[in-house]
Amino acid sequence: MSNEIEEVREEGNEQSQESSAGVSRRKFVGTAALVGASLATLSAGAQTQQTLLAARSDDSASNPGPKNELLMQENPDSNLPPFTDHGDPGVTWFSFDLTSRRVQDGGWTHQVTEREFPTSRDIAGVNMRLTAGSIRELHWHTSNEWAIVLTGTSRITVMQPDGKMYIDDVGPGDLWYFPAGFPHSIQAMGGQGTEFLLVFDDGKFSENDTFLISETLVHTPPEIIQKNMGWSRDDFNKLPQSQLYIFPSSVPGSLEAEKRALGDRLETKNKYTYKLSEQRSAPDNAGGSVKVIDVDKFPVATGLCAAQVTLKPGAIREMHWHPHSSEWQYYMQGNGRMTISTTGGRARTMNFNANDVGYVPIMATHYIENTGTEDLIFLEILKAAHFYDVSVNEWIARLPDNLAEAHIKLPLSTIRKAPQTRTTIIPK
For 339-377, how does the pLDDT look when each residue is reduced to its tens digit (9 = 90+)?
A: 999 999 999 999 999 999 999 999 999 999 999 999 999
Q: Is 405 annotated as a binding residue?
A: no
Q: Please, are residues 135 and 250 in contact by the beta-carbon 8 Å criterion? A: no
CA distances 295 to 218, 265, 312, 386, Å, are: 38, 25, 28, 6
pLDDT at 394: 97
The pLDDT score that the predictor gives to residue 93 is 97
Cβ(267)–Cβ(357) below 8 Å: no
Determine the 3-state secondary structure of 209 from DSSP. coil
pTM for the predicted model, two decimal places: 0.86
Q: Where do the domains of the chain lie, and which CATH numbers do they carry?
A: 99-274 (2.60.120.10), 282-389 (2.60.120.10)
Is 145 within any annotated ligand binding site? Answer: yes
Degrees to nearest 5, angle at CA 66 with 60 and 72:
70
* 141 assigned to a ligand binding site: yes
110 is in an annotated binding site: no
The CA-CA-CA angle for residues 304, 181, 276, to 5°, reads 35
324 annotated to bind ligand = no
Predicted confidence at residue 59, as pLDDT, reads: 75
Per-residue confidence (pLDDT) for residue 56, from 0 to 100: 57
The whole-angstrom separation of Cα 338 and Cα 137 is 37
Per annotation, catalytic residue among 137, 195, 207, 380: 380
pLDDT for residue 62 = 86
Selection from 107, 102, 101 nearest residue 132 by Cα: 107
Regions of the chain with pLDDT less than 50: 1-46
Is 386 a known ligand-binding residue?
no
69 counts as catalytic:
no
Q: Which pLDDT score, from 0 to 100, does residue 38 have?
A: 39
The answer to whether 86 is a known ligand-binding residue is: no
Helices (H) and strands (E) in the chain, counts: 11, 26
Length of the chain: 428
pLDDT score of 198: 98
Q: What is the pLDDT of residue 282?
A: 78
From CA 211, how far away is CA 231, in angstroms rounded?
Answer: 22
